[in-house]
Structure 1
């Protein structure tokens, strides 16, 4: 260019000079620098490039002298020159950090040029070397003394360093400082800060920043929305989470399926079902398909809230999208419709459930059929369900037995009998289970004559086993017909069969309920003759009735001379006497336990009976027994607490009783009406 008579202008010379410095062409740098000075182009830019050149060559002493010379000569100098020098000194040697700080202080006090850039460089280097406290202190001091406000990237740098050290309160303070100074943090830094606040559980700060997002230029991304919503749900702040989600949708963000499900699940748990419905509509409007599991949780929540019709509508939407509900969801819907006496819809769902590959349990079948039996025109609904079941899935003895059992529980043994007789017509021979179910249907509905006739009919078709006898005896006892039961059981003995323990237990219970204690004792005698031991159930029944009346002891006293007492029955007699108040119990709790243990195995009910006995006249012993049963591994139930509380009130130990009531309530139990009357 020079040969052609052209020359560079001032800007071009400085661009060339900077390029040569960057490439390390230091000889050429000096030549170009001479040309700049010769042509009178020297300026603040030149000074800065000279400083850069000296620092790049690690000629820091010369660089410092150059700066001082410029200042002394009254040259116009940019603060950038000092910033370049300070940066170079800090990077060269940690030992020179102190000197860099001295230069900052010296020139800052001199006030010969703007220190904005130099202060920023010093703060950056302090923070980079792990001196974050020093950087923050320097920043605060200069702000107060000189009104110093760092550039945005310096703020962001400080924020990131504070976040790395988890100094979240200082991050919050710095963000507020930026807001006051009218400086908006960049998106990346702000989102990172929100993430840290969420993880630390500082949701009050997060929400405050979120509310100020327009003031501070915050534009959260989808990750931040997810973080905020998840954290708020974890804190139980579902309303705030719901508001954030609606706002995120307005701004074009839709949370991930997991976050959506977390919020919907939390709202379901709190019963805020209308908001869940709104969420689903938001999703569908934007053609977003929430997870099937979320739909199902919503349906179950609606059923629990007795909004089963709404749940059914959601179920219909799910089916239209070719998404299949789980077995649990079907169960909730069916139980919900049973509860509102809509057995017809429950029956429809029962069939649909099987079409989707699920196998309804016996209990569900029974519940639906019971509901149908309670509707208007039950025969019609019952037959319709039975016909649909048989036409779709064919005859099954198990399912047919379910129908019979359901009809029995629904107080329609006549329908059960029709199904039983139908079995032969469709080529399905009734099995033993069918006979037992039919027998139970009659007994459960007090159709005693029909039960006896059917029992005789069974005996003509098959050899009677213990199962049939047990069903008959137990059923008669529960129907309040212990004499019939005793006759059947004696027939069982004649047939060479040993009656089940349940037969003996129910007979004893039935006779005691009618206060026919002589007959109950005869059952005990028969039980011992066949080698059966006294069970906890029978022992507890005798203890209960001994506490309620002296009649059981009187019957025992009448019969013991004419019966062959065994050591066990003799021990039982002593217990009856003790619990009836015929003999005083002065022994220790451990001794009473041992006596009962020799007679029959103890359970929690036994301990409650012991507690009731001791609470009458040995309240301290009752309290000791409470602790002992806990040590034995038993978990006190409502009756355990209530017996002790009642006894304490009866003995006038009011303050102590109230403490036990507090403990009772903490365990989720409530006093009985009997105890409430004396509180």
Structure 2
């Protein structure tokens, strides 16, 4: 295949399954769900299981709770049909109060419930009852759609003749459930004035509402009226108990329950659980525990709900270990926790990252045949995300419609976080889109993680949509997120968009902190927009931030490249006017002029600062000297150097600047003159000087002089650097000239060498053509690491040497050893190997390595691509 441009495919990261227990997966052809094995011993190995099989296992468990009854069929019609009337009518349903209540109890969402309630109310021969109205009101209340309920009740009161049920009862009941007990009481008063009264059911709904709204005086009055009318039932003492508990009259509540018990009137488990819950809320855990144990031993009332409430309260108080211990004790006595109790335990353990115990509870639920509900399924999804099994979580998410999985906000956040950590950014965006459709916006942490991933991956259009979605919900991204977004836009050459973000967010003063100015100034400088870069530099100072040398350099270079050098002098004048004369800023401008290759501009800055009475310091002069050297104005550099020498004896730093500058400018002869001069004065040049001299001499092919410099370097007592060794390694691999010069200088006599020269001698002799010797191939990198700390540049050269000689298998082995040692191959590492395979016409191998290179986010050089296309087209 011919390659015209790189087409990278997303790398799929293989995940390690975080389970300390083993799932026994049966044959994929089996129709039975695979069972769980008992927990293995702690030393058992964590297995890598097929995510598809694990997802399939949990899919079967989730689906087991969705029985295909008529209620499931109705739920499916209501959720999938925008106009479900026709489909519902075809079912031939016999509507009754009991049937409608069951249908409503099977709905998870408000809209399907309202659709069915409306449809049922219009069917011939059926009329809604107080119980069905109460059920729909509770559904609206749980969804906190109080406004919708009140609007509906107002419409209901206008059309009283259309409803055959007790009109006033329904209104009182509805306003009570909606939390409008004042309206409900007004309606109740009108009824009494007209000689009407509520029935027992509505009385108790009203009482419960008054308790919830803490209208305790009115509760006591109505309780007396209920008793006088003989309308008391099993709910009456429960509401009385609830009222006492909400008033924190716990001693009276305990006396009341004991009075009922002694009077033989009977008490319910619900009343016991309310008292236990109230004691826990009042932080009286010892009394609550005593109460639980006492009534548990008496065995007069069912304790299942009380145990679940006790466990729940322990969890909320952070006593998770006590809750777990109590659970195990009572389970041994036959207690089966309610689903909400399991869910609370699982969620609490998940927050504490106690994943092993979460797994145990999931296994218990399956063994006890407890069907998972929506919260359980969401907790399982969070568990897989936390356990590093994101592929399993994603597959369950993809099956959400089939298994009736309705994600909550927490599950969406965990899934987005896990997908971003896995590098599956596109999948995370897909989940985000679904989350927004369901009305969930990511939490702060998920928002930050997703935004960071989008900015890091350069998916700026998606980032823009994320920010827009946040603003639509009146959520303002944090300054950290804004700074990352602005930085990413600037790096992508979209500095204008970055500059508009503070205005878009209407938080200019807050967003444009110091890092934001850095990104914007660099971004506009790279776009050659010197006017904006300069404006932002001044704006940054007005905001109380001090620009760095690099920022001044970027602005000055930009202005010089666009021919606006006069603007640099204007900037200098502004700086001198804005504050006390500052030599440091003048130095920054001279440095910028030097990097822009405009030493005359630097000289003008120097003259103006002198005219303003700002005396140049030694750093100012060094910067001017570097400016001449960078611009290859060697005559001016030498004159300036001589002027400095007239003022003061030249220092080691001054020599270093001259030597390094001349080497970089390829004036090696002049650099050597200064090196000889500094050594005659018994001054020791910097390590950087030696590195540049050796590199420059190697480029010029003067290996005899390289050897002299190396011998002098050894006398200086400095430690050899990786840079020097890499240069020597490169040129010993290229030819034998360095080795020959080394031997001719007398350094070939190993016995006469000291430690440093011995290492250099071994390095040069080992790799001067030694790459071609077979016995050196097995431990190539080990030989190098004996003399200096190898880096990825070193390994790339070793790979290059191997590929040049056609030893591709050895090169691949070395690549693997590099990775095993913790080094990260870069673009050139892959390119060297691919180029080697192309050179030796191993096209398929080159193609395989190229695909891996794309997956790592690297692309071959055009030289390698051209070679690959050439051998591919020529067969």
TM range (shorter): 0.5 to 0.7
Task: Say if 2:468 is the partner of 1:278.
Answer: yes
Shift of 1:413: 1.4
SS state at 2:597 partner: coil
- What is the CA deviation profile of residues 399-427 of structure 1, one whole-angstrom value per residue up to 9, with x for unaligned ones? 22211111111121111111222332223
Q: CA RMSD of the aligned region, Å?
A: 5.2
Counterpart contact for 1:303–1:332, Cα < 8 Å: yes
Task: Say if 2:668 is the partner of 1:482.
Answer: yes
Alignment of 1:267-416 (within 5 A): 270-271=459-460, 272-276=462-466, 278-279=468-469, 282=472, 291-316=478-503, 322-375=509-562, 377-416=563-602
- What is the CA deviation profile of residues 576-599 of structure 1, one whole-angstrom value per residue up to 9, with x for unaligned ones? 56644499745445887787678x
Alignment of 1:251-650 (within 5 A): 270-271=459-460, 272-276=462-466, 278-279=468-469, 282=472, 291-316=478-503, 322-375=509-562, 377-528=563-714, 535-553=721-739, 555-556=741-742, 560=746, 567=753, 572=760, 576=764, 579-581=767-769, 585=773, 587-588=775-776, 600-604=787-791, 605-615=793-803, 616=805, 634-643=823-832
When residues 640 and 231 of structure 1 are mapped into structure 2, their CA distance, relative to the original with a 3 A threshold, is closer
Counterpart contact for 2:837–2:845, Cα < 8 Å: yes
Counterpart residue number, 2:18: none
Counterpart contact for 2:610–2:616, Cα < 8 Å: yes
Structure 2 residue runs without a partner (length 5+): 1-198, 201-224, 238-262, 267-298, 304-333, 347-361, 384-392, 420-426
Counterpart residue number, 2:175: none
Structure 1 residue runs without a partner (length 5+): 1-9, 25-54, 59-90, 96-128, 133-157, 176-189, 213-223
Counterpart contact for 2:632–2:665, Cα < 8 Å: yes
Counterpart residue number, 1:52: none
Alignment of 1:124-203 (within 5 A): none
SS state at 1:336 partner: helix
Larger helix proportion of the pair: 1
SS state at 2:510 partner: coil
CA–CA distance in 2 between the matches of 1:629 and 1:473? 36
CA–CA distance in 2 between the matches of 1:560 and 1:13? 116
SS state at 1:323 partner: helix
- What is the CA deviation profile of residues 467-524 of structure 1, one whole-angstrom value per residue up to 9, with x for unaligned ones? 1101100100110100011111112123331222322221222122122333333433
Shift of 1:344: 1.6
CA–CA distance in 1 between the matches of 2:723 and 2:811? 22
When residues 428 and 209 of structure 1 are mapped into structure 2, their CA distance, relative to the original with a 3 A threshold, is farther
Query: What TM-score do you get using the length of structure 1 for normalisation?
Result: 0.61
SS state at 1:415 partner: helix
Structure scoring higher RCO (CA < 8 A, sep ≥ 6) equals 2
CA–CA distance in 1 between the matches of 2:468 and 2:602? 46
Counterpart contact for 1:232–1:241, Cα < 8 Å: no
CA–CA distance in 2 between the matches of 1:495 and 1:566? 28
Counterpart contact for 1:444–1:479, Cα < 8 Å: yes
When residues 563 and 266 of structure 1 are mapped into structure 2, their CA distance, relative to the original with a 3 A threshold, is closer
Shift of 1:646: 5.2
- What is the CA deviation profile of residues 447-466 of structure 1, one whole-angstrom value per residue up to 9, with x for unaligned ones? 11111111111111222111
SS state at 2:592 partner: helix
Shift of 1:625: 5.1
- What is the CA deviation profile of residues 602-632 of structure 1, one whole-angstrom value per residue up to 9, with x for unaligned ones? 5234454444445527666656655665666
Counterpart contact for 1:194–1:206, Cα < 8 Å: no
CA–CA distance in 2 between the matches of 1:406 and 1:477? 21
Shift of 1:21: 10
- What is the CA deviation profile of residues 89-136 of structure 1, one whole-angstrom value per residue up to 9, with x for unaligned ones? xx95779xxxxxxxxxxxxxxxxxxxxxxxxxxxxxxxxx9679xxxx
CA–CA distance in 2 between the matches of 1:532 and 1:261? 47
Query: What TM-score do you get using the length of structure 2 for normalisation?
Result: 0.49
Shift of 1:199: 5.1
CA–CA distance in 1 between the matches of 2:766 and 2:345? 73
Shift of 1:334: 1.3
Counterpart contact for 1:273–1:302, Cα < 8 Å: no
CA–CA distance in 2 between the matches of 1:393 and 1:667? 50
CA–CA distance in 2 between the matches of 1:209 and 1:549? 68
Counterpart contact for 2:476–2:505, Cα < 8 Å: no
Shift of 1:445: 1.3
Counterpart residue number, 1:48: none
SS state at 1:464 partner: coil
Counterpart contact for 2:382–2:411, Cα < 8 Å: no
